[in-house]
Amino acid sequence: METINLTFLGTGDAVPTKRRSHTAILASFANETMLIDCGEGTQRQFRIADLNPMKITRMFITHWHGDHILGIPGLLQTLALNNYNKTMHIYVPRGTRGFIEAIFKLFIFVGKIKYEIHEITNGTIVNERDFRVETAEMHHGTPSNAYSIILKDKIKLDKKKLKKFKLPNTPLLKQLAQGKNIKFKGKTIKAKDVIYKEKGKKVTIVMDTSYNKNAIELAKNSDILITESSFAAEELARAEEFRHLTAPQAAEIAKKSKSKQLILTHISQRYEKHPEQILGEAKKIFKNTKLAKDLESLKI
């Protein structure tokens, strides 16, 4: 069964702390390694986590505030110096292509790196055989997007059921896996009798935004929903002013989207000494909630 490996390279907000670096999340599976946001110091977090940035295949930017993008120039320089041989696919919100192009013009890189810029709006933005990536626009006062990484359902052959038919390893197996009935030794073997569906997986990442329906719809039925949680309930007015989520609002998105687990990130320095405040507020609404920590990894 395919798994998605998640690593929280940075879990802080606009001002980093001793425990929390600027936002960056790594999602890897099969031959894909995706970086969602690249806050200041991200490439050093790769080193500390003993991860190889050369494996990155795609970078997704949620929005262009500094704590989410200031690590991009340094990371790109490191890749260029180490002869990065892939084409980096960079996805940015609508109207912001010029920002990433400016980075390549502003900094004098030693070496070269191949890249393609994809300016995106709502909908499916990557659609490969085994996975897809969907996005939706958020409400943050500047172009901003959330992302869902989805491993597609797979049709699998049930080896135990196949065994009784004594089928050899031939192209007939491929036909069964495609849902086609076959004939073997004069008998019809129905695909439905020997296949089953391996359900896919879904991770949704919602960064800086005010509460909105797009986030709920994008996150629908997520195995893991990762959201920013910049404010406690008592600071709702400030959250609305700066277009951020409170912990209870993050939990409401998880509950209404029927997500299985909620992970809070983008934690403000205000809660450095008592992060249990926002965790507790969220858990009152959505019990299966955890607080992300820098360099923490998990698999789904």
In three-state secondary structure terms, 145 is: strand
Task: Note the Cα 23 to chain centre separation in Å.
Answer: 12
d(CA 103, CA 83): 19
CB 206, CB 222: distance < 8 Å: no
Q: Residue 251, Cβ neighbours under 10 Å: how many?
A: 26
d(CA 233, CA 230): 10
Helices (H), 107-170: 159-163
CB 215, CB 138: distance < 8 Å: yes
Q: What are the structure tokens assigned to 296, written together? A: 């923490």
CA distances, 232 to each of 49, 190, 251 (Å): 30, 56, 12
pLDDT at 137: 98
pLDDT at 194: 83
Catalytic residue among 13, 37, 67, 294: 67
Name the β-bridge partners of 155: 197
Single pTM value for the model: 0.93
pLDDT at 176: 81
CA 96, 97, 100, 104: dihedral to nearest 10 degrees?
Answer: -150
d(CA 255, CA 238): 23
In one-letter notation, the amino acid at residue 229 is S
CB 229, CB 278: distance < 8 Å: yes
Q: Give per-residue pLDDT as tens, 242-296.
A: 999 999 999 999 999 999 999 999 999 999 999 999 999 999 999 999 999 999 9
Query: What domains, with CATH codes, occur in the chain?
Result: 5-153+200-299 (3.60.15.10), 155-195 (no CATH)
153 is known as an active-site residue: no
CB 285, CB 255: distance < 8 Å: yes
For the four alpha carbons of 119, 123, 126 and 127, in that order, the dihedral sign comes to negative
Q: Where are any strands of DSSP class E within 94-130? A: 114-120, 123-127
CB 112, CB 104: distance < 8 Å: no
Q: Residue 30, Cβ neighbours under 10 Å: how many?
A: 12
d(CA 230, CA 221): 23
For the four alpha carbons of 84, 86, 87 and 92, in that order, the dihedral sign comes to negative
Give 24's contacts (C-beta < 8 A, 6+ positions apart). Answer: 8, 9, 10, 35, 36, 37, 38, 39, 42, 45, 71
pLDDT at 191: 80
Which regions of the chain are under pLDDT 70?
none
pLDDT at 186: 78
DSSP 173: H
